[in-house]
Structure 1
């Protein structure tokens, strides 16, 4: 069975170049609060720039300068880039990636936390309680860095800084690129520290080709893409008793199995994306969930051009292969 993979939308492929201000306006329309947007070559570049900003506004001379990251369901860059700027990494205990607000408050107070790195969707599987997280961070003067790569198009954009990948296969799917968004509060802190020009000079080192038209068209479709991914994910959750996060929305689905290697082999021998890549991720893996099983990568599928009837055929085949 061949399943079509996510590709940049036709409108974007026909109008690759565009106006950056129009793109920024489209991005801000999808977020909880407006940010100052800078286009970058990748989401990882965004995490690096965010870490650099933290270094410039936080006193890192103390040996107890800590940033908090989730114990699963995050991005590997959360572990890598802050360390390059002398931050210590503290892992936040979660419920399979989902933040518990009381635990978050306790960990912040106990560990002298300066910043929190978190994805809008835990492992692309479940939505975080972002409003409550933002409130706890504000009360404790913790800078919230939110990776919205999997959540843009849904409820997202609460962070003091947001980072996003627009590579493949993300919700904004340009096969390249990303961006960082910075709140006015962060900009003001950089100005107070006389570091705003340092940021501007750093951003100048990232040369991005003019794909603003493509990125804008994908951004405009992000709500529709996100909702379709969530819809298909919910169908899959309803059909499998071993699916997690049934009462939460995600753009991928985790199915628990004791033999994920065998299950993965069975599925990959029959179901493939039309670019030859797998439609599943074998777990445990930090970027999804540290639990034995598989993740069905709905976000990799060309959801806007797959009917529910066709998707039910995929679900039926998955059932056959996982018995």
Structure 2
């Protein structure tokens, strides 16, 4: 049994190829484009009034952080290393927030001095393995005039409307690169209800122009996004239920993190028994983007949807439990 790394849907690859070959239905239509279609779909998905397509998730972060006048609050683990790198590049004061293994606890926010006009940036799923309590985060930040920036690269399209929801997050950003929930292998987006986010970041936006090929892919992938996330969460939930020990066992997520004292040794054993056609879906901790604990990570989000069938999940469970 060989697992397959996630690719854009066949329909997505087809439309991108057609646009690359010059078969763009909007070439003579100045009132429409794939980019405009994407913006409409994203606004509907996030419940935000404004959206922009970017050429990467990091460019989306750059635009979002450029719009913030105060400090940037960043989780101590379970986020994305680009948060800190871009904040430092922009000469923003960085406040590192203690978390509960990546999960944001508003009690910890109460214990720090937060300057005016600051923002909290975090990912929908802590370490990709545990959904954040966006409702409590939103309430605390609104009460304390802190802008919330949610990186919903892995949480966009949530049927429960807890993640990637513009009613809860002031700014939503995402990557549409590989192997994200919207998977076009490049690109991203940013959305908000605050027009000043875009009015005050015109230069970063100019540096983040995106072509119609990428937009055509995002446009098509958006049609699949809700089912993509649902299948990924369901598969992760199954693995967490049947693997003997995991972090954040009862939280929704898109990967599984298993505590282990010798992660490097067991990682290579698992890779031999669970081969994939290219890239990886088994990695290790400690890792800021995951958890600062020793462990093995089963990156369910990296797998093509045909690899999330019951027999494949049963194989993962069997191999891991035998090795632990």
Tell me the TM-score normalized by structure 1.
Answer: 0.88
Q: Which residue of 1 aligns with 2:190?
A: 180
Q: Which residue of 2 aligns with 1:40?
A: 54
Q: 1:28 aligns with which of 43, 55, 59?
A: 43
Residues 267-297 of structure 1: per-residue CA shift (max 9 Å, x gap): 122222212x222111010001111111100
What pairs up with 1:136-147 in 2 under 5 angstroms? 136-147=140-151
Say whether 1:163 aligns with 2:153: no
- 1:286 alignment partner, SS class: coil
CA distance in 2, matches of 1:50, 1:125: 24
1:271 and 1:279 in contact (8 A); partners too: no
1:225 and 1:304 in contact (8 A); partners too: no
Deviation at 1:159, TM superposition (A): 2.1
CA distance in 2, matches of 1:140, 1:5: 42
**Which blocks of at least 5 consecutive residues in structure 1 are unaligned?**
59-64
Tell me the TM-score normalized by structure 2.
Answer: 0.87
Q: Which residue of 2 aligns with 1:212?
A: 215
Q: 1:93 aligns with which of 93, 98, 110?
A: 98
Deviation at 1:202, TM superposition (A): 3.2
Q: Which residue of 2 aligns with 1:258?
A: 261
Structure 1 segments of 4 or more deviating over 3 A? none
Q: Which residue of 1 aligns with 2:304?
A: 302
Relative to total residues, which structure has the larger strand share, 1 or 2?
Answer: 1
1:130 and 1:156 in contact (8 A); partners too: no
Deviation at 1:152, TM superposition (A): 0.8
CA distance in 2, matches of 1:311, 1:240: 11
**251-260 vs 218-227, which deviates more?**
218-227
Q: Which residue of 1 aligns with 2:10?
A: 10
CA distance in 1, matches of 2:220, 2:307: 16
CA distance in 2, matches of 1:212, 1:135: 34
Q: 1:127 aligns with which of 115, 127, 131?
A: 131
What pairs up with 1:227-306 in 2 under 5 angstroms? 227-275=230-278, 277-304=279-306, 306=308
Residues 229-251 of structure 1: per-residue CA shift (max 9 Å, x gap): 11111111111121121221000
Deviation at 1:213, TM superposition (A): 2.2
Deviation at 1:41, TM superposition (A): 1.2
Number of residue equivalences? 301
Residues 79-116 of structure 1: per-residue CA shift (max 9 Å, x gap): 11122222211111111000112222333xx2436111
**Which blocks of at least 5 consecutive residues in structure 2 are unaligned?**
20-32
Say whether 1:49 aligns with 2:63: yes
Alpha-carbon RMSD: 1.8
What pairs up with 1:189-200 in 2 under 5 angstroms? 196=199, 199-200=201-202
Deviation at 1:214, TM superposition (A): 1.3
CA distance in 2, matches of 1:270, 1:145: 39
